[in-house]
Amino acid sequence: MKFAAPRFNPAARLLLAAGMLLAALPVQAETINLQQAVQMSLAADPRIKEREQVVEAARGMLQEVRGNAGWRVSANAFVGLAPKVEGGFYQNGAYSGEMPRSDGNSFNGVSDWTHLDFALIKPLYTFGKIERYGEAAQGNVDLKRGELKQTRGDTVYDTKRAYYGYLTARDIRIFLEDMRGRLNQAIESVERNLKEETGESRQSDLYALQTAKGMLAKYVHQSRAIEKISLDGLKVLTGAGLKADLEVADARIEPVAFPQIELAELQSRALLERPEMQQLEAGLRTRRALVAAKKADRMPDVYAGVIGQFNYASQRERLDNPYLNDPFNGGGLTPVVGVKWDSVFGAASARVNQAQAELEALNHKKAFAVAGIPFEVGEAYANARANHDSQRDLAEGAAAARRWMVASLADFSAGLESADKVADAIKNHALAQTEYLRTVNDYNMNVAQLARLTGELW
């Protein structure tokens, strides 16, 4: 049996060809800038999602505490067996007579027995228990929100570190590879002179240049490793995945603007907006509320509601006597107003003392934070200022070192400079330029750290 080949109209052939062409084209790498990287990291970081769920759990606890002020129901129902009873209250099963029955211990069979008891209760006054525990639960929610904000700040900082680290390592690697190319040209020139025995180069010149080449090769390999590690870290943080083709938009690392805010203002802002301070305030509110709640635990609860009970046994005659109660048949329902007191005085006082001690410990922690946080901000500010000025001076030094290297190479080519002087010029230029790039990275991270310490997301 033969099958005919399918026929395609011209439009279908054009679409098929276009699809095959698109499939053969290389996939474009995703290019992102720092702001996009931060936004992607904030959306993808599992640590943030974990903290968000912790906040939701704290909200659920708050709802549970507030729910204790509403109606409460307790009920118990079961089906069992009861002794069978026939006849009335008097002897021989009569419904009227003079002698009550006395066969309660006799076995006359069994009956099914359905039992239900319930209570529907609403607290009227709890001496502040529900209110104080509610305040403590709300403080716990605010505490978890502070932890979430702190985690978001850590994610932003980690993303900046990976982004700036990649730019720094990439710029150093490109620079050193260029330097190595220049050095290779000088080595080839020396080797050619030695081979031709022109007398323009010495063997020691070759050794000096080869020594410099080995040092440059080491730093090239190190920068490549840091470049890969930083880019992989950025892929993980942004959620792109290690196998993603990700590129950064910046052509080179540049120093960010220095904060245009005075140190005192930054320190004041940190004491107000830093997540740790907000967590401390929330923790203090929680501890104060818990102390009040533990004190209220020593007091009773006033409540109102309805309680009732129902029993039914199909094989027992009903006894309708207001003074006698058959536990297997009958029931009742009544509204109630009551007082419930459940407290162990020694244990309750111990709980109050424990809560008070935890509150005092948190007060001391706050005192340390109030003194320590301005110091941390001042330290980060001083480091940022130092590296800001350092990178500016290093930029001038690197430019001078480059001119020194170019001049030395030119003199070496003209036979006016020795190779060891050229090697020194190349090494000093490499040192100055790499130190400049590293200092720019350090300065940018100082500014990022300053933003994190003052509670800024960016």
pLDDT category of residue 25 using cuts at 50, 70 and 90: very low
Q: Is the pLDDT confidence value at 223 over 80?
A: yes
- Give pLDDT, residue 16: 55
SS3 357: helix
pLDDT category of residue 1 using cuts at 50, 70 and 90: very low
**What's the Cα-to-Cα distance from 9 to each of 12, 13, 97, rounded to whole Å?**
5, 6, 108
Which range, 17-21, 158-162, 320-324, has the best average confidence (pLDDT)? 158-162
Q: Are 150 and 332 in contact (CB under 8 A)?
A: no
CA atoms lying within 13 Å on the CB side of residue 49: 6
The predicted model gives 301-321 an average pLDDT of: 90
Q: 137 CB contacts (<8 Å, ≥6 apart)?
A: 58, 61, 62, 64, 65, 66
**Does residue 95 or residue 110 have the better pLDDT?**
110
Q: Is the pLDDT confidence value at 23 over 70?
A: no
The predicted model gives 284-293 an average pLDDT of: 92
The predicted model gives 288-297 an average pLDDT of: 91
- Give pLDDT, residue 81: 93
The 10 Å Cβ neighbour count of residue 156 is 24
Q: φ and ψ at 297, to 5 degrees?
A: -60, -20
pLDDT per residue as tens digits for the range 81-93: 998 888 777 777 6
The predicted model gives 119-138 an average pLDDT of: 93
- Give pLDDT, residue 199: 67
Q: Is the pLDDT confidence value at 336 over 70?
A: yes
pLDDT category of residue 106 using cuts at 50, 70 and 90: confident
The predicted model gives 144-172 an average pLDDT of: 94
CA–CA separation, 178 and 176 (whole Å): 5
In one-letter notation, the amino acid at residue 312 is Y
pLDDT category of residue 194 using cuts at 50, 70 and 90: confident
- Determine what percent of the chain is predicted with pLDDT higher than 70: 92
The predicted model gives 238-253 an average pLDDT of: 91
**Does residue 12 or residue 118 have the better pLDDT?**
118
Pairing between strand 301-313 and 110-125? Answer: antiparallel
pLDDT category of residue 3 using cuts at 50, 70 and 90: very low
Q: Is the pLDDT confidence value at 232 over 50?
A: yes
CA–CA separation, 98 and 90 (whole Å): 7
Sorted by where each starts, the structural domains of the chain and their CATH numbers stand as 32-69+128-299+345-453 (1.20.1600.10), 71-125+302-342 (2.20.200)
Q: Is 255 exposed, middle or buried (0-12, 13-18, 19+ CB in 10 A)?
A: middle
The lowest-confidence range among 114-128, 193-207, 392-406 is 193-207
Average pLDDT, the chain: 87
Q: Is the pLDDT confidence value at 367 over 60?
A: yes
- Give pLDDT, residue 13: 58
Q: Name the DSSP letter for residue 256.
A: P
Q: Are 121 and 71 in contact (CB under 8 A)?
A: yes
CA–CA separation, 56 and 65 (whole Å): 14
Q: Are 55 and 146 in contact (CB under 8 A)?
A: no
- Give pLDDT, residue 7: 53
**Does residue 1 or residue 123 have the better pLDDT?**
123
